[in-house]
């Protein structure tokens, strides 16, 4: 018998022929930079879903509190081929198997429509079940989810509060004292507590339950780990709505060492992706982590900002086993970079790329199309800059997607100010590689998609051509 049943809903994703060709090239080049094979050809980072971090983190608190739980997954195949009624039947079977008191969901934006339907079904057919929802999308659309049937919606980082909240729900205790929580009133309306969310003390976090997903973990190309939480910057488009514009909190090296040791047992030896927003922001912490990773003997790669690293620091990373550094470039237009509050320009990006290559690092740059006031000219400018960096050997890998105005971002909340017309509520259209869910003052939804697709084709051909020369 489980107290909590976690339901993971995978995102469904169809790839075009061009995207498959792009990812073939991308993974081949990354394999070369890391010195080990990443994936079989034709597989992409969409085809092999990572283990759900929200389940692994929240379940760790339950395990420490000795509260039993189970996990079930609605796969992409279930969503696409079986239809909604079959998924309802699966839910009924899982409920019979596990007898949970609480079912927990964490929707991302493109899965939220399906999860809302599941909430409505469960609320109507299993009135005794408590339905708990958390995560970035839920944080900013809590009232909608309460109307769909959710018992409570947890806002922000809820790792440390989660076991206590579960116990309070089961005992039907007063929820008004919990921070950052919305819950269903007896009249069906949403009540939001006055207490603001507090940043989690990461030193108190238990090791995530990586062991729940050993089989899947052995299929993914790398292990994603976080050595810190938070980001002091406030980019208007950033999808990391729970961490942006907040103080960076670094994990103790002892906790990180334990996490790495557990992942190695569960998933095997594979490259580590340190997914901190800005790994080098706190250099004292970054240098400690680098020394520990060097002792582990696994290749690793990071992401940071071009204005938060020096040549000496980059050489230090290389000396301790770092193979690739990633920079969020976003756009080649200085005007757009100012609008989105990046805090640097393309000159800073190019300088950082040159320093990284001089130090001996592979370089990955992230780019987007569809920013506020984007035009055809600024999109082509970005295409040209990406290609130039690859051809000059300053960038080895490119990731290029359509900007998505997720709930909680400035571009979503202030869309009128930014000249965006967003298909709000049509959550399944909030994809980085499909017909855009919005139009700018200059570009239609179709034009944004067409410009992205043409840019992706240029990048794919360029990476293939330069890869053949090296």
| Confidence check: pLDDT of 46 > 90 | no
**DSSP conformational letter for 39:** -
Is residue 211, in this structure, part of any structural domain at all? Answer: no
Bridging pattern class, strands 190-192 and 181-184:
antiparallel
Contact 104, 52 (CB under 8 A): no
Is residue 16, in this structure, part of any structural domain at all? Answer: no
pLDDT, greater one: 201 or 47: 201
Token pair for 215:
């089989």
Is residue 106, in this structure, part of any structural domain at all? Answer: yes
Where is the domain boundary, 192, 213, 233?
A: 192
Within this chain, do residues 60 and 165 fall inside the same structural domain, yes or no? yes
Contact 300, 271 (CB under 8 A): yes
Q: Which CATH number belongs to the domain containing residue 76 in this structure?
A: 3.40.50.2300
Is residue 35, in this structure, part of any structural domain at all? Answer: no
Within this chain, do residues 143 and 230 fall inside the same structural domain, yes or no? no
Within this chain, do residues 157 and 285 fall inside the same structural domain, yes or no? no
Query: Average pLDDT in the 57-64 region?
Result: 97
Within this chain, do residues 289 and 147 fall inside the same structural domain, yes or no? no
Within this chain, do residues 340 and 268 fall inside the same structural domain, yes or no? yes
* Residue 468 exposed, middle or buried by CB count within 10 Å (0-12, 13-18, 19+): exposed
Q: Which segments within 118-161 are labelled E, that is strand?
A: 130-133, 152-154
First CA to last CA across the chain, in angstroms? 57
Where is the domain boundary, 192, 209, 233?
A: 192
Question: What residues make up the domain containing 62?
Answer: 4-9+51-192
When pLDDT is cut at 50, 70 and 90, the band that residue 82 belongs to is low
The residues, ordered by sequence, that sit 6+ positions from 403 with a Cβ below 8 Å of its Cβ are 237, 368, 369, 370, 371, 411, 432
pLDDT of residue 297: 83
pTM of the model: 0.93
When pLDDT is cut at 50, 70 and 90, the band that residue 48 belongs to is low
Is residue 202, in this structure, part of any structural domain at all? Answer: no
CA distance 394 to 381: 17
Q: How many other C-beta atoms lie within 10 A of the C-beta of residue 43?
A: 16
Q: How many other C-beta atoms lie within 10 A of the C-beta of residue 253?
A: 14
Within this chain, do residues 266 and 399 fall inside the same structural domain, yes or no? yes
pLDDT of residue 245: 65
Q: Which CATH number belongs to the domain containing residue 439 in this structure?
A: 3.20.20.70
Within this chain, do residues 339 and 437 fall inside the same structural domain, yes or no? yes
pLDDT of residue 15: 84
Within this chain, do residues 296 and 407 fall inside the same structural domain, yes or no? yes
CA distance 142 to 137: 8
Give the count of domains, the chain.
Answer: 2
Within this chain, do residues 155 and 275 fall inside the same structural domain, yes or no? no
Query: Average pLDDT in the 332-344 region?
Result: 96
3-state helix, strand, coil in the chain (%, to 5): 45, 15, 40
Query: Average pLDDT in the 232-242 region?
Result: 87
Within this chain, do residues 261 and 172 fall inside the same structural domain, yes or no? no
Query: Average pLDDT in the 248-276 region?
Result: 94
CA distance 31 to 289: 23
Is residue 26, in this structure, part of any structural domain at all? Answer: no
Is residue 81, in this structure, part of any structural domain at all? Answer: yes
CA distance 224 to 171: 36
Q: What are phi and psi of 325, to 5 degrees?
A: -120, 140
Within this chain, do residues 356 and 427 fall inside the same structural domain, yes or no? yes
Within this chain, do residues 182 and 234 fall inside the same structural domain, yes or no? no
**DSSP conformational letter for 78:** I
348-368: per-residue pLDDT in tens? 999 999 999 999 999 999 999
pLDDT of residue 43: 47
pLDDT of residue 75: 82
Which helix (H) or strand (E) segment holds residue 272: the answer is strand 272-274
């Amino acid at each position: 018998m489980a107290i909590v049943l976690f339901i993971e809903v995978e995102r469904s994703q169809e790839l075009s022929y061009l995207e498959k060709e792009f990812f073939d090239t991308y993974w081949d080049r990354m394999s070369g930079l890391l010195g080990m094979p990443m994936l079989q050809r034709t597989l992409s980072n969409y085809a092999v879903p990572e283990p759900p971090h929200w389940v692994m983190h929240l379940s760790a608190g339950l395990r420490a509190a000795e509260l039993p739980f189970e996990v079930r997954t609605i796969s992409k195949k279930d969503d696409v081929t079986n239809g909604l009624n079959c998924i309802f039947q699966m839910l009924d079977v899982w409920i019979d198997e596990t007898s949970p008191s609480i079912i927990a969901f964490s929707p991302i934006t493109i899965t939220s429509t399906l999860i809302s339907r599941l909430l409505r079904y469960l609320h109507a057919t299993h009135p005794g079940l408590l339905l708990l929802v958390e995560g970035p999308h839920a944080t900013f659309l809590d009232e909608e989810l309460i109307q769909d049937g959710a018992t409570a919606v947890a806002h922000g980082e809820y790792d440390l509060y989660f076991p206590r909240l579960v116990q309070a729900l089961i005992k039907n205790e007063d929820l008004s004292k919990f921070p950052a929580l919305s819950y269903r009133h007896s009249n069906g309306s949403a009540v939001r507590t006055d207490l603001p969310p507090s940043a989690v003390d990461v030193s108190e976090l238990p090791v995530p339950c990586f062991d729940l997903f050993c089989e899947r973990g052995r299929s993914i190309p790398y292990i994603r780990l976080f050595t810190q939480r938070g980001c002091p910057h406030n980019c208007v488009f950033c999808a990391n709505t729970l961490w942006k514009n907040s103080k960076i909190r670094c994990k103790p090296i002892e906790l990180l060492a334990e996490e790495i040791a557990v992942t190695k047992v569960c998933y095997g030896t594979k490259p580590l992706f340190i997914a901190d927003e800005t790994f080098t922001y706190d250099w004292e912490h970054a240098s400690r982590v680098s020394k520990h990773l060097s002792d582990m003997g696994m290749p690793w790669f990071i992401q940071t900002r071009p204005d938060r690293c020096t040549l000496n620091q980059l050489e230090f990373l290389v000396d301790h086993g770092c193979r690739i550094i990633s920079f969020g470039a976003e756009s080649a237009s200085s005007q757009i970079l100012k609008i989105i509050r990046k805090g640097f320009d393309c000159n800073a990006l190019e300088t950082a790329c040159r320093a990284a290559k001089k130090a001996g690092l592979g370089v990955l740059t992230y780019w987007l199309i569809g920013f506020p006031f984007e035009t055809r000219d600024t999109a082509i400018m970005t295409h040209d800059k990406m290609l130039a960096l690859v051809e000059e050997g300053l960038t080895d890998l490119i990731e290029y997607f359509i900007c998505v105005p997720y709930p909680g971002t400035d571009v979503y909340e202030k869309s009128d100010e930014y000249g965006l017309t967003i298909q709000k509520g049509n959550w399944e259209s909030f994809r980085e590689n499909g017909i855009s869910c919005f139009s700018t003052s200059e570009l239609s939804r179709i034009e944004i998609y067409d410009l992205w697709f043409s840019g992706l084709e240029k990048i794919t051909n360029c990476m293939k051509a330069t890869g053949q020369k090296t």
